[in-house]
Structure 1
């Protein structure tokens, strides 16, 4: 982590090839996006991808519709936050929905207040009935509890020892192998040991 010199602007840090940790939501790395940009993108995704399904379900009198949105952890946190802003009922305050483990998932329910299964509602395209949004699951990662961590990613064009992890994430039962790493990662430990340690 590079310490930020308070006497030097963020732009001057970048010009010197230094990239300190960003703490403010409006800050961004060159050609990157800020947290505010990410929140705007998440808000757009909720408006353009999720809410049309909510409107359609309300018009058709359907409940229990499932919509899956796949993204990376920071964006998932912002998607949850933007969805909660649509709730007519009070929602928990604070940053409760940040920090997902790798491949973790979240689940939220969205109910139209007063809707009943089988009873269609009139909902205009530019309107939204009062919603009740609840986060039922966040940072669920038990599906990886028994996965043996491999160092790095396989770099060989085809590494037969990577088939176990592909099979696992494809839903198959996997029998552990005796090799601790795949062939393409066999030198990770050697490379790490060869890197000089930083001096205090």
Structure 2
């Protein structure tokens, strides 16, 4: 058996600004990075944590930085590999990328809302903004992710039934909803459900599935041609065990004065953590398992700056 835990990225500046951000590389806010640290600490804790065997993430910085926080807070002796893949990117909004969204009716060409550059939510699975993706396009993408990255883990788990492989996927709200829907379509026993059912994840909230292969293979795959999977992939048994979990955010408070909603600045964060003696979870490069210790030289300059700028004159 394997478990697949899907984690949404931390809050971004475009979440705060209510802008369409699919493939646009919207930065985490300061609050979003604190959320990412919190979910990393949760899964690295001896009580609430879980051993992770492999991680996959969208290459967009908001998801990849969140994934790095989870990876880097796992015990060093079995830190999991982290693989970025474009198949986990958010839905591409095309011409709407970076524009404000509105909850009103879809604007017409002569509408004042349209002139202001605002875009209303899409109304069907096949609709898309100009030059963008539809929901069905995303469904096809995440189907490929399952075939290329998850099915090998499922097959490997068959060789050792005593061991559960824990896989983490760090991605985006719509991409995760479509991924859950794609998994469920591979289980012949599951009644058809709209992937939209699984939307609405909080930032850094997580949903978990238990996945095994099914013995019976006589059932035709209950999927539509637009999301057809490889014929060689085995049918799956999928059980959702947790949905939209975010208890790790209980003590994460937004910084006041607009700081929490500003873009995350790793340089600024390093100065703050140096001054108060808090060590951030270090971010690892892909394939790296070593953490470089802090040297005294990294602490001297921030302390000097504090004394210089706080001097009464």
Q: TM-score range by the shorter chain?
A: 0.5 to 0.7
Aligned counterpart for 2:201 among listed residues 100, 111, 116: 100
SS of alignment partner, residue 253 of structure 2: coil
CA-based RMSD: 3.6
Q: Which has the larger radius of gyration?
A: 1
Structure 1 stretches lacking a partner, 5+ long = 115-124, 171-200
SS of alignment partner, residue 40 of structure 1: helix
Q: 1:138 Cα deviation (Å)?
A: 1.4
Is this contact kept in 2: 1:2–1:18, CA < 8 A?
no
Is this contact kept in 2: 1:89–1:133, CA < 8 A?
no
| Partner Cα distance (2:178, 2:243) in 1 | 13
Which string of whole-angstrom CA distances, capped at 9 and with x for unpartnered residues, describes residues 151-174 of structure 1? 31346542444789994899xxxx
Q: 1:14 Cα deviation (Å)?
A: 6.7
Is this contact kept in 1: 2:207–2:243, CA < 8 A?
yes
Residues 1:128 and 1:61: Cα distance change in structure 2 (over 3 Å): farther
Does residue 66 of the first structure (1) align with residue 160 of the second (2)? no
| Partner Cα distance (2:200, 2:264) in 1 | 28
Q: 1:83 Cα deviation (Å)?
A: 0.5
| Partner Cα distance (1:93, 1:26) in 2 | 17
Which string of whole-angstrom CA distances, capped at 9 and with x for unpartnered residues, describes residues 72-107 of structure 1? 121111111100111132247454322100011111
TM-score for the superposition, normalised by structure 2: 0.42
Alignment of 1:12-161 (within 5 A): 17-58=117-158, 60-62=159-161, 63-91=163-191, 93-94=193-194, 95-114=196-215, 127-150=232-255, 151-154=260-263, 157-159=267-269, 160-161=271-272
Corresponding residue of 2:52: none
| Partner Cα distance (1:32, 1:85) in 2 | 24
Higher normalized contact order (CA 8 Å, seq sep 6+, divided by chain length): 2
Residues 1:161 and 1:92: Cα distance change in structure 2 (over 3 Å): farther
| Partner Cα distance (2:235, 2:127) in 1 | 34
SS of alignment partner, residue 139 of structure 1: strand
SS of alignment partner, residue 68 of structure 1: strand
Q: 1:56 Cα deviation (Å)?
A: 2.7
Aligned length: 158
Which string of whole-angstrom CA distances, capped at 9 and with x for unpartnered residues, describes residues 82-134 of structure 1? 001111322474543221000111111111235xxxxxxxxxx9634442101
Residues 1:103 and 1:86: Cα distance change in structure 2 (over 3 Å): same
Is this contact kept in 2: 1:111–1:133, CA < 8 A?
yes
